[in-house]
Amino acid sequence: MERKICTHCNIEKNVEDFYNKYTECKICNRNRCLKRYYENKDKLSNQRKLYYEKNREKLLQKQNNRYINFKELQRSYVELQNKLKALEENLSINDTEKP
């Protein structure tokens, strides 16, 4: 089993405890990211609000397109199910007619 030393906590751990190409373990990496998130929460929130205000129409259009595509997929799925049932019924009728 390969082992690696975390550059943040200086503990030797299995290679599975590290992300690829990272020198700090998954636990230290997660803690660092969470700390950064909570320290900059207001800043990130303001950035997201500004981005939404600038790109509101584009984002709403994208959301609407996803909803429409989902409805179309759902409709085509139901149509395919109905066709499949009709074919199965047709096959069962043809099988019973043969002597």
Each residue of 7-31: pLDDT tens digit?
999 999 999 999 998 999 999 999 9
Q: Is residue 61 part of a domain?
A: yes
Q: Is residue 47 part of a domain?
A: no
Instruction: For residue range 61-73, list pLDDT tens digits in order.
Output: 888 777 777 777 7
Supply 16's token pair.
């599975």
Q: Is the pLDDT of residue 60 over 90?
A: no
Q: How many CB atoms lie within 10 A of CB 98?
A: 5
Q: Is residue 72 part of a domain?
A: yes
- Indicate if 65 and 90 belong to the same structural domain: yes
Q: Is residue 51 part of a domain?
A: no
Q: Is residue 48 part of a domain?
A: no
Q: Is residue 13 part of a domain?
A: yes
Q: Read off the pLDDT band of 54 (50, 70, 90).
A: very high
Supply 23's token pair.
């020198």
Q: Is residue 32 part of a domain?
A: yes
Supply 83's token pair.
């066709």
Contact 15, 3 (CB under 8 A): yes
Which domain, by its residues, includes 80?
56-97
> For the chain, what is the domain count?
2
Phi, psi of 9 (to 5 degrees): -100, -10
